[in-house]
Chains A and B, each alone.
Chain A
Amino acid sequence: MEVIGTSQAGAAAAAPGGAPSRPRAFPPALRQLMMQAALIGGLLVVWQLLSGRLISDFFISRPTAIFAVIVETTLDGSLLYHASITAMEALLGFIVGGALGILFGVALGWSKLLADLLNPLVLCFNSLPKVALAPLFILWFGIGLNMKVALSAATVFFLVFLNTYTGVRAVSQELIAILRLMGANRRHVLTKVVLPSALTWVFAGLRVSVPYALIGAVVGELFASNRGLGAMLSQAQGQFDTAGVFAALFAITVLSLLLNAVVKVAETKVMPWQSGDHQQNTTV
């Protein structure tokens, strides 16, 4: 679940740990950052040296060439144009899929009847690879924005739905009993216990869905589009422009990181009691 978050979490955990022992040249967080930068820089250098020598640059291009394409497409505005379209699709898909996922997750988690009723349907749809729906969505929504949003939303929906559902189910029955003793009705229990306790799970679901939102959008563009990073990708590939392919991949990665950062900020805003946990030292 925490694949994307681990490096930051690791840095945060390392920070208070080593501090008091003895003064070092750099704070641990900075040291780690420098090592990470050195590693990436080293890989780029190796890549640059390999291409054209050991491996044909037709296959792997070379960092300088990719950088040149990025600079060029940034300057003529086309990169930003394509990126903004993909970002829009992914964001809309993320919001629509996330909202529906939360809604259904809470509904099914809260109502056993509904969960039992819909269980087989959920199992079927969940086992379906969501990108396989692309042809169907083209028939339904055409080849415009809606189809990519739908594809992205379909993927995000299930991840968020399953997480929310699990979260609602995992709520502490003891806390519910304590509140019911205070005279709480079902609405009180839902709003004061179930929803806040499920939030952790909801955000875990949202965080893992970020790359999938982009997958939905990009795959949709690969299928049918002349705009967006997916289209840029397939055009570059059609012209055997390997550097262009890598530049598009780079832009997709940056988008994913940005969206991920937005989710993280939202998470600390919405769950301040969790962010408090991060700063505090581990106690048992």
Chain B
Amino acid sequence: MISLAGRDILHSWGKYAFTGVGLGLLIGVTLSMAGIYRGMVDDGKALLANSGADLWVVQQDTLGPYAEPSSLRDDLYRSLRGLPGVLRAANVAYLTLQIEHAGQEVRAMLVGIQPGEPGEPRYLIAGRPLERAHYEAVADVKTGFQIGDAIQIRRHRYTVVGLTQRMVSASGDPMVFIPLRDAQEVQFLKDNHALLNERARVLANPALNRPGVPGLAEALFSSQENSRMVNAVLVQVAPGWDAETVAQPIRRWKQVQAYTRPQMEEILIAKLIATSAKQIGVFLVILAIVSAAIVSFIIYTMTLGKLREIAVLKLIGARNRTIAGMILQEALGLGLIGFAVGKTVATLWAPYFPKYVLLEPGDAVRGLLAVLLICALASLVAIRTALQVDPATAIGG
């Protein structure tokens, strides 16, 4: 038996191609949405993996440092270094801000790190790591910065000395690494205007600016300007040690919490991006319904245009199965054309998204199955109509 559906598609290929492209764009949007979700998950994993940490020590009762604000005293890392199983421990500070660059604003996550310690970006695609104690930066390429660029952050100018790739925050903002001290200052200290204001107020206060105690005001300034807080301590465990084992005694300490990598992943993926994931989920459901409505409408219209042929087929003895099969195959054919177009356009436009879009082959397979299922369901109305056609209508009155 020849394929009636195949012949019909070939015969009116223009109509199928046109409709398939329309459907394909819709499928492309759907695949991209899934890719955006996968990209968010992958960004989260990359964020954890690239930090080089096995344990995140954060403020008690918080999900910090990525999901909730967390602050710790900056000498805590010394006590951690003394624990059994801890290879290295280093302070990190995180803060998201707008950086002005070449007349444009870049939203970036500022990361304060200690050179050579956990938290430092492990792979650079250009330049060198931070070496000097101040005013150097390593930026992710997505910021658009280049080596040698000078960037202004609050009170200071930083020189970009190295570039990283795929170092983004949980919300997709590219990272800019600067020395920890600088980051603490940016995070916890005030700008020049506020500083001058405070100094003036201290100097105007006779209790603090005593003629008999000349160093008092200076000491106050310096203690105000020196931040003693960080957002988290990243811990690398010694070879042969299990992160969970190392974490247990830390959790008994007051005022701190320790998360292992799997726990951090859970926080990032299940909690932090849960709302976005649901958002995308709802969107996917709507797209599926819209696609189904479009496919059923198209297949139904195409079937209405073939009622006479269907009546003739029935008259000359075609089985219901043959006719239903023809319509079903045409719907599936349309789905396949749509999927091919959708996969292609999703791949083509993925790089233009500001956030990472990860098109997983597994999602493509699931998408294909969903498209075929939707097309099959969508053809039911048309099949019902076709099966109700009376072969007598082929003979006429």
Partners in one complex: no
